[in-house]
Amino acid sequence: MLEKIAIIGGGSWGTAIGQVFASNGHEVLIYVRDKELKENINKLSINTKYFPEIKLSDKIRATDSLEEAVLFGKIIVLAVPTYVNRQILASIKNIIKKDQVIVSTAKGMEEGTFLRNSQIIKEYTDTPLVVLSGPSHAEEVMRELPTTVVAAGEDRKAAQLIQQLMSSSKFRVYTNPDIIGVEIAGAIKNVIAIAAGISDGLGYGDNTKAALITRGLYEMSKIGISMGGELLTFAGLSGMGDLVVTCTSKYSRNRNLGVKIGEGLTLNEALEEIKQTVEGVRTTKAFYEWYHKTDHDYEIPITSQIYKVLFEKKTPLQAVDDLMLRDPKEEIKVVEK
């Protein structure tokens, strides 16, 4: 079954998702704001901004008309950062049809409202919704390296449709009904990845990173379960899988930001060098503020220290010391029988 796919956002991940769909024979229309980029995609079949050396499928074309893209696609993929979602949704809410399926790819929490992306989307439409997440750097997807992700949704048929349309020998898709856990895992892993990058920037080793990933997974699962997620989701692709790749990969913007901060750059200097959206920065602020405005019986030490480094000018070295010198804890609590 071939479908028409609209990708809202011509960044690295939007382009990679478009390539996955197109490789399976689907027609893809990518919405981009940059007219020059639109022309390059349509005339050269190249996203000259993000993948100048990779030829795009001849089933991909671009438009700078948001309305044209939405009217084109049976599937609408939102491939924009969390903070842009409302602007896009407000523009398209009156033209979305109930038989379309929205795929959300952003990984963050909205500042101020503390809403997940699926919650934001549901404020504008009741169209079937699927969240796509997992360890999937766009650079490797574009090179057709084997990648596995999860399509999460309360609407099982919609999740299975995305699974069917995207799956191939190079791109495997699992479904998961736990949309809350998948979204929380995808957001928090970016915060932990900044911490892992800071560790690398400071010159620390594998022991430190292993500890950050492990305790980060624990912190992620505590937050996720408190918000209604399922424990096993955090051991899956959107949890442990995405956490590992984002904390270790050279392609990770969040890790790379952390590296630069660990090496001595300020947040603004690091963002200026990366020149792309780093979702973990806004996510750190959102989760830190959410935690302190709500009641919890657990701590979020990694998120708290990253917040203080990013926004309160705490030195990375002091943050590491404070993490290491916290009061002694049990790793797990065993229930007596």
pLDDT tens readout for residues 254-275: 999 999 999 999 999 999 999 8
Q: Pick the last residue of a domain from 177, 197, 231.
A: 177
Cβ proximity of 131 and 179 under 8 Å: yes
Concerning whether 313 is annotated as a catalytic residue, the answer is no
- pLDDT, residue 275, reads 87
Low-confidence residues of the chain: pLDDT under 70: 333-337
Question: Could you tell me if 315 and 266 lie in one domain?
Answer: yes
Instruction: Choose, from 38, 59, 189, 260, the residue flagged as catalytic.
Output: 189
Question: Could you tell me if 283 and 310 lie in one domain?
Answer: yes
Question: Could you tell me if 184 and 257 lie in one domain?
Answer: yes
Question: Could you tell me if 211 and 136 lie in one domain?
Answer: no
Q: Is the pTM of this model over 0.85?
A: yes
- pLDDT, residue 335, reads 52
At residue 203, what are phi and psi to the nearest 5 degrees?
Answer: 90, 15
Does 87 map to a domain? yes
- pLDDT, residue 281, reads 96
Does 329 map to a domain? no
- pLDDT, residue 329, reads 84
Does 150 map to a domain? yes
Does 332 map to a domain? no
Question: Could you tell me if 160 and 299 lie in one domain?
Answer: no
Does 134 map to a domain? yes
Q: Pick the last residue of a domain from 149, 177, 205.
A: 177
SS3 letters across 9-43: CCCHHHHHHHHHHHHCCCEEEEECCCHHHHHHHHH
Question: Could you tell me if 43 and 110 lie in one domain?
Answer: yes
Residues 6+ apart with CB under 8 A from 42: 61, 62
- pLDDT, residue 242, reads 98
Does 333 map to a domain? no
Cβ proximity of 89 and 61 under 8 Å: no
Domain membership of residue 187 as a residue range: 180-324
Write out the H or E segment, with its range, that includes residue 70.
helix 66-72
Question: Could you tell me if 231 and 287 lie in one domain?
Answer: yes
Does 83 map to a domain? yes
- pLDDT, residue 251, reads 94
Strand ranges in 119-245 using DSSP code E only, listed in sequence order? 129-133, 147-152, 171-176
Question: Could you tell me if 213 and 99 lie in one domain?
Answer: no
What's the pLDDT tens digit per position in 80-97? 999 999 999 999 999 999
Q: How far apart are CA 195 and CA 319, in angstroms?
A: 10
**Domain harbouring 134, CATH code:** 3.40.50.720
- pLDDT, residue 336, reads 56
Question: Could you tell me if 120 and 52 lie in one domain?
Answer: yes
State the total domains in the chain.
2
Q: Pick the last residue of a domain from 177, 205, 236.
A: 177
**Domain harbouring 306, CATH code:** 1.10.1040.10
